[in-house]
Amino acid sequence: MRLFQFIAVSFLGLALFTAGIVHAAGSISGAVADSMNSGGYTYVLLKNDAGETWVAIPEQKVEKGQKMTLPIDMEIKNFHSNTLKRDFATIVFSSGVQAAEQAAKPTTAAAGSFAEAVAKEQAAGQNPHGNAQTLPEESAGSGGAVVPFADIKVEKATGAGAVTVGDAFANAKKLNGQTVRLRGRVMKVSPAIMGRNWIHIQDGTGDPLQNTHDLVVTSDAAPAVGEVVVVSGKLAADKDFGAGYRYAALVEEAKIEK
């Protein structure tokens, strides 16, 4: 239990955490009494005969009064949301939402357990600081998932929007929403998380002390670790998926050329 709590703290970046993780198999059903979107999540307040329960799911459109059935992946007590700046006495994390009349059909909102999928990306990385709990809340990437700096040198891409990894971080706010193009080596691939592959790219630029050497790219493509590829996609600055899972720079919906 202690080990799981340590991983959960680094994954969720909790400001408040008091031994409140509960795994609960099954599902929860009810009608939407309230909802809000923040940091890549939709927070849904479900109401049923037993009362009301807040549930966090991957961001999607919901309507008040809509009936839903949610698979329960993980429950956390005394949870603090940094993006909403509010506390939840209890909140359930779920992989997705299904209309009650479609509950028997598989959900495509995320592959497997949403909570476990995001934890997989976090746990798969190596923490260069040695203690995930001491990482700053806001870092170049989700702190515990940053791949250590590799002593490599990859030639900068050419063409419109060409940048290096270091450039992407240094000019993230200026480049926000723009299509960028960069060449780098694939350092790690975390597949099928929130419906996409998470690819870590390095080219020898950036500052490893600031974690600006390791750029995360999301894509449908699945390049092999060690390959040098050219990435083209929209750069997002200060991308916050909620629960402490934040990136200063992220390239989304990328096309990858070998």
- What the block records as the tokens of 245 is 């899972």
Residues in the chain: 258
7 or 166, which is more confident = 166
Q: Taking residues 98-106, report their average pLDDT.
A: 38
So where are the chain's domains?
Answer: 2-112, 125-257
- Hey, what are 78's tokens? 């005394």
Write out pLDDT tens, residues 39-48.
Answer: 667 889 999 9
Query: Strands 21-22 and 74-81, how do they pair?
Result: antiparallel
DSSP state at residue 145: G
| Whole-number Å distance between alpha carbons of 86 and 90 | 12
Residue type, 63: E
- The helix, strand and coil proportions of the chain, stated in percent and rounded to the nearest 5, come to 15, 40, 45
Tokens of 33: 């009494």
The pLDDT tens digits of the residues spanning 191-228 come to: 887 778 999 999 999 988 788 999 999 999 999 999 99
Out of 106-110, 196-200, 244-248, pick the least confident. Answer: 106-110
* 233 neighbors 201 (Cβ within 8 angstroms): no
Q: Which percentage of the chain shows pLDDT scores above 90?
A: 40
CATH no. for 125-257: 2.40.50.140
CATH number of the domain located at residue range(s) 2-112 in this protein = 2.40.50.140
- Domain 2-112 identical in fold to domain 125-257: yes
Pick the more confident residue, 95 or 105: 95
Least confident of 69-83, 120-134, 169-183: 120-134
Computed over every residue of the chain, the mean pLDDT equals 74
- CA torsion angle 39 236 114 111 (round to 10): 150
Pairwise pLDDT comparison (169 vs 25), residue with the higher score: 169
pLDDT at position 106: 37
Tokens describing residue 177: 């929403």
Q: Which two tokens stand for residue 258?
A: 């070998």
